[in-house]
Structure 1
Amino acid sequence: MPFVVLGIGLLAISFGAILARLAQRHGLPSLTIATLRLGLAALLITPIALWQSGRALRTLNLRQGLLTAGAGFFLALHFATWITSLEYTSVASSTALVTTNLLWIGLASFVLFGDRPRRLMAIGIVISLAGSLLIFWSDSRTSAAGSHPLLGNFLALVGSWCFSSYLLIGRRLRASLPLPAYVWLAYGSAAIFLLFACQASGTSLTGYAGAAYLVALGMALGPQLLGHTSYNWSLKHVSPTFIAVVTLGEPVGSAGLAWLFFAESFAWLQGIGFVLLLVGIYLAARGEGQ
């Protein structure tokens, strides 16, 4: 069941970059997109969280509160940097780099928690990372990379570091909280951090076309609530390292959707990279099953 849930979540999350690019074309600033995505998701799940996890929320202790703040801070940074990266580089490069959290989580899990990946998991990590690097290298050679590929790629990489930190903190927090409570706290606290960022930078949340808000709502319902919540649910059943491996499938889905909606073509080297990603995910799934 965790593998099925993660597959559904991956499909939903693959639409994230597409919807973010659409929102940008409707005039929404990247910081506004990130704030609306998380804020609307938190509002939509509030009744469920209060109904199913009211007791857990009322008895929240100091440690859980601090972990929530930390998770929300890194989740806010993840979306702020990654969505901004889409202004400067292609969907393929952005999603390939932002999903390199596998490497950072694997290293951090080994250093901080002593988690040793099994042999198949390790092989899957290497193959998946090779696929990501091949996609990035191929994309950087094309003229469709974006207005400032170096900046966009760096922002996507920062987004990967932040999402890795979010997953590692969530591993501890999710173990002691029901899913609705954890999701509501994580998304809500991240939205609050982003609201402060909008206020400090003078970024407005109002005054845009209705279509832009519909796209933002779609991001909250699909990639955020369905996609990221699937990952959060799975944290209690599989390791953060394996979830990071699954996220490497996002460039495959996002690049295909970008080709369909925005005519962002990809070279044959990228196709090889997508195949390597899928093979790596399969091997890591076998290793996780062991």
Structure 2
Amino acid sequence: MISLSLWAISLQYTTVAKCMLLNNLTPIFTSLGSWLIFGKKFDKQFLIGMAIALGGAMALGFEDLNGGGGLLIGDFYAILSAVFLGTYFLMVEQLRNTFDATTILLWRCGVGSLLLVPLVFFTEDQFFPTSKLAIFAVLGLGILCEGFGQRLIAACMDKLSSSFVSLFLLLEPIISALLAWMIFAEALGVNTWIGFAVVLTGIYLAQSSSAASHGA
């Protein structure tokens, strides 16, 4: 929840493209935390795969920047969001040793709601969405993104390491671009397809490493 809040705050000061670019740093913070806190070891294959995937993701992000501006404070919030997201992945990976994915998700949503509801109530003029479009958007975020998406992420962490999961999520902008291409006929340039191939290559290399497994 802290990560999402920082992400939302960062959008007030910088561009979406820069937020996405800086949020792609999450695998670095997750891997660094695994190494420093839990003593996890990463072989050369995983590190090379991570470097390749990050390089492809960053290249895609730079392509979307188009010289976009933004304040330094916005970049700071975006990086801090990536740090907290990496921390969240580390926590879920450790909790999966004891709890199932549904229990973790329910506690996360419950604690997050207790913290955010008073904050929204006292800082925002409007508490509930009013238009049909806004209501469907909120329901979609809650049911699809949180209920299904986050649960699936937690569920896979009894098999996969948090470092690999955060790296695998670099596929998000690729899937979004492909859906936009198929549904809205948005054009994808050659450089974008090359970036996709680079990210997928890096993820494949990392997946083939023993460091991609939970508890390895």
Pairwise TM-score range, normalised by the shorter structure: 0.7 to 0.9
Q: Is the 8 A contact 1:139 1:266 kept in 2?
A: no
Contact 1:93 1:135 (8 Å CA) reproduced: no
Residue 257 of structure 1 and its aligned partner are, at CA, apart by 3.9
Aligned-pair CA distance for 1:245: 1.2
Aligned amino acid, residue 159 of structure 1? S
**Structure 1 position 141 matched with structure 2 position 66:** yes
TM-score, scaled to structure 2: 0.83
Change beyond 3 A, Cα 1:218–1:268: same
Q: 1:97 aligns with which of 22, 28, 31?
A: 22
Aligned length: 211
1:255 partnered with 2:169 = no
**Cα distance in structure 1, aligned partners of 2:57 and 2:44:** 20
CA distance in 2, matches of 1:218, 1:246: 23
Point out the more displaced range, 106-115 or 94-103: 94-103
Partner of 2:135: 213
RMSD value, Cα: 2.8
Name the structure 1 match of 2:160: 238
Distance 1:149 1:139 in 2: 17
Please, which runs of 5 or more residues in structure 1 have no aligned partner?
A: 1-75
Instruction: Describe how 1:48-59 pairs up with structure 2 within 5 A.
Output: none
1:148-167 equivalences in 2 (<5 Å): 148=70, 153-167=75-89
In the TM superposition, what is the alpha-carbon distance from 1:213 to its structure 2 partner? 0.9
Matching residue of 1:169? 91
Query: Residues 106 and 252 from structure 1, CA distance in 2 versus in 1: closer, same or farther, beyond 3 angstroms?
Result: same
Shift of 1:280: 1.1
Structure with higher helix content: 1
Q: Secondary structure at the match of 2:208?
A: helix
TM-score (structure 1 length as normaliser): 0.64
Counterpart amino acid of residue 244 in structure 1: S
Per-residue CA deviations over 1:155-205 (Å, capped at 9, x if unaligned) read: 433221111111112222232112221110012211222213213423422
Match of 1:127 in 2: 52
CA contact (8 A) 1:81 1:159 kept: yes
CA contact (8 A) 1:128 1:279 kept: yes
Give CA-to-partner distance per residue, 1:7-54, whole Å, 9 cap, x none: xxxxxxxxxxxxxxxxxxxxxxxxxxxxxxxxxxxxxxxxxxxxxxxx
Alignment-mate amino acid for residue 145 of structure 2: P
Corresponding position of 1:40 = none
Alpha-carbon distance between aligned partners in 2 of 1:273 and 1:168, rounded to the nearest angstrom: 27
